[in-house]
Amino acid sequence: MIGSLDSRLPAGSADNIQDAWTNHKFSMKLVNPANKRKFEVIVVGSGLAGASAAATMGELGYKVKLFTFHDSPRRAHSIAAQGGINAAKNYQNDGDSVHRLFYDTVKGGDFRSREANVHRLAEVSVNIIDQATAQGVPFARDYGGLLDNRSFGGAQVSRTFYARGQTGQQLLLGAYSALMRQVGEGTVEMHTRTEMLDLVVHDGAARGIVVRDLITGDVTSHSGHAVVLATGGYGNVYYLSTNAMMSNVTAAWRAHRRGAMFANPCYTQIHPTCIPSSDEFQSKLTLMSESLRNDGRIWVPEGMDDSRAAADIPEGERDYYLERKYPAFGNLVPRDVASRNAKTVVDQGRGVGTLKNGVFLDFADAIARDGKDLVASKYGNLFDMYERITGEDPYSQPMRIYPAIHYTMGGLWVDYELQSNVPGLFVLGEANFSDHGANRLGASALMQGLADGYFVLPYTIGNYLADQLGDRPMDAGDAAFRQVEAEVNEQTNKWLSTNGTKSVDYYHRELGKIMWDYIGMERSENGLEKAISEIPALKAEFHKNVRILGTGDGLNQSLEKANRVADFFELGELMARDALAREESCGGHFRAEHQDAEGEADRDDENFQHVAAWEWTGTDSVQNRHTEDLEFNYVIPSKRSYK
């Protein structure tokens, strides 16, 4: 094992969490401005975390190289986030504070995150809003010209800032504009359409990466003093998810194979409000912002197999099951609770739509109360999107929604400074595991991505780099790099010469079915055992029988997908093992064997109040499970109740 699982929490954070980050910042080493230009930093990924980190490090004077497989940094999947971003500004005077955001996030994560990390996240949340506003991000405003807020799944205060239903787009365009300014100033060198295919670890530290130019097929090496991965989550392991088509785990997984620990892979989030799938050719699922739950009421018919149109079902024969079971939070219960309840009613045979695979999200009351115009002003673009996809008009009939894989809380293990166990390898945003525990609250992904990129990494990376003053980065022509390049080229040739019969997509779809059935919303020992035996069998067939046409020296989208799907197979198996080892239900991880009499999650703090971090031990051997214990001094673990 490289390095250790020492979280390196600031000294004294158990007694004084309020000042832990401030004190830690003071204790870290600095790199003086004239020396910063001597350090070269590689950033992979151009979403909120990657773009904000690259721009900020560029502003500070570091020499940054940014890599993205997109044609432009602006395409990264952060762009699709709809609902908003949390910040403890308390502009609404409704009792919010840094401590409350911290408290809600730890509780929302079902007590499986580090308190000190989460507190820091809540602290810097306010700076993000200031930064984005100054960049020109057009957040929603009230008539006095000040910023507007709304409340968002799982919160009883209005702390979510938003830009219509396109908050992720506007925040990413803000980070992208800051990034492009640095590209123009020459501090950031941008490599688009360039995919990271391996990490080079030498003498116990990350030294650089090996990439493939997606247009020419050239495989080249790039070295630096540090490597920063901001490469997003792995939801596409399920094939159908709300992730973009190209979102993948490859950069993180290749780093894992080189020694970086992968933490809590079984923590996945199912988003409750997505459009149900309509046929087998469906390529992805579309999310409808959770903000819809502020005004929409969720219900299903009381009886089984009710095929009447929504309008024909009288009020008395409707079951508003969230309002019934959770009177305090009602339709605004956290995502995991809302999702599991939707699954329960659909499994009971009370689903709606032709395929009986959804529940209603009804705006009739909101339209009657506020008028169609006000509803349209809040959700117009979402309603339009729904109608384009389904051909149904949500103003006149309820939407049909169903949960879908949306976000992954697990990821590469990092310490308090966002450094993995491999020295010099830092991991930001959704790609790391750090802040959301077993469940992420709505509007907290954007917050974490930008917190990591703007306000955490730019400080903590200096603490690592300061010790390397005077050292040149390794030569990218060194034998260590040549060796990895050769391995990448060999893999490419293998794909192109396999000459089987089925497409990459076919195998990806089949893997997705196993994942959804056995490692989806509900997991059982039996199902997980099945997944652990079926995934390797399918993987073997994939490697033997996949057909990838064309060549490696130009644009070849099947070849790109093959690499990504190969990694999903390995990850999928690890997810099953992680889910099997975690004999409890917490957050997004629900084990059928561990529920109380009412079907609510049964957490086991005595045995599982820890992070599980997996160590790669070779392609054909089972990975080692290590643990990092979690301590709670401020938010005392209790059963999450939203009743």
Partner 1 sequence: MSEETLNITLKVWRQDGPEDRGRFETYQAENISTHASFLEMLDVVNENLNEDGKEPIAFESDCREGICGTCNLMIDGKAHGPEKGTATCQLHMRKYSDGDTIVIEPFRAASFPIIKDLAVNRAALDAIVMSGGFISVNTGAAPDANLTPVPKEAADQAFDAAACIGCGACVAACPNSAAQLFTSAKVQHMNLLPQGQAERWQRTEAMIETMEMFFGSCTNHGECHDACPKEIPLDLIAWTNRDYIKSKNKNRKLAGQRG
3-state helix, strand, coil in the chain (%, to 5): 40, 15, 40
Helix (H) or strand (E) holding 461: helix 457-465
Q: Is 481 near partner 1 (CB under 8 A)?
A: no
One of 176, 299, 518, 569 touching partner 1 (CB under 8 A): 176
Is 373 a binder of partner 1 (CB under 8 A)?
Answer: no
Token pair of 104 as six digits: 């809600």
Q: 38, 75, 325, 640: which one contacts partner 1 (CB under 8 A)?
A: 75
Phi, psi angle pair for 55, to nearest 5°:
-65, -45
Q: Region of 478 please: left (phi>0), alpha (psi -120 to 50) or beta.
A: beta
CB of residue 455 to partner 1, shortest distance in Å? 7
Residue 64's contacts (CB-CB under 8 Å, 6 or more residues apart) are 40, 41, 42, 43, 54, 57, 58, 182, 187, 188, 189
Q: Which of residues 293-332 bind partner 1 (CB under 8 A)?
A: none
Q: How far is the CB of 89 from partner 1 (least distance, A)?
A: 7
Tell which residue, 527, 106, 581, has the closest CA to residue 334.
106
- Least distance (Å) between residue 390 CB and partner 1: 8
101-140 mask for partner 1 (x: CB under 8 A)?
--------------------------x-xxxxxxxx-xxx
What does the alpha-carbon distance between residue 526 and residue 543 come to, in Å, rounded to a whole number? 26
Interaction with partner 1 in 534-553: which residues (CB under 8 A)?
Answer: 547, 549-550
When binding is defined by CB under 8 A, the residue of 15, 34, 93, 143 that contacts partner 1 is 143
Token look-up 């929302």 returns 108
Binding to partner 1, residues 387-426 (CB under 8 A): 388-392
- 33 part of the interface to partner 1, by CB under 8 A: no
Q: Site for partner 1 (CB under 8 A): which residue of 18, 23, 92, 192? A: 192
Please, which of residues 246-265 interact with partner 1 by CB under 8 A? 246
Size of the site for partner 1 (CB under 8 A): 83
The distance of closest approach from Cβ of residue 474 to partner 1 in the complex, given in angstroms and rounded to an integer, is: 29
Of 113, 125, 170, 264, which lies in the binding site for partner 1, with binding defined by CB under 8 A? 170
Binding residue for partner 1, selected from 1, 11, 146, 622, defined by CB under 8 A? 146
HSE of 597, CA atoms in CB hemisphere, 13 A: 0
> Minimum distance from CB of 338 to partner 1 (Å)?
21
Q: Does 458 bind partner 1 (CB under 8 A)?
A: yes
* Catalytic residue (choose from 114, 293, 297, 335): 335
> 91: which residues sit within 8 A by CB, 6+ positions away?
146, 147, 149
CA distances from 386 to 3, 239, 289, 390, 533 (A): 48, 21, 11, 6, 39
d(CA 591, CA 602): 9
Spatial distance between the Cα atoms of 68 and 72, rounded to a whole number of angstroms: 8
Least distance to partner 1 from the beta carbon of 452, Å?
A: 12
595 lies in the site for partner 1, by CB under 8 A: no
**Site for partner 1 (CB under 8 A): which residue of 15, 33, 95, 281?**
281
Candidate residues 497, 501, 607, 619; the one interacting with partner 1 per rule CB under 8 A? 501
Q: 3-class SS at 347?
A: helix
> Please, which residue, 107 or 164, has the CB nearer to partner 1?
164
Instruction: Name the residue with tokens 């940094």.
Output: 73
Q: Pick from 8, 23, 25, 59: which binds partner 1 (CB under 8 A)?
A: 59
Active site residue 335: yes
Catalytic positions, written as ranges: 335
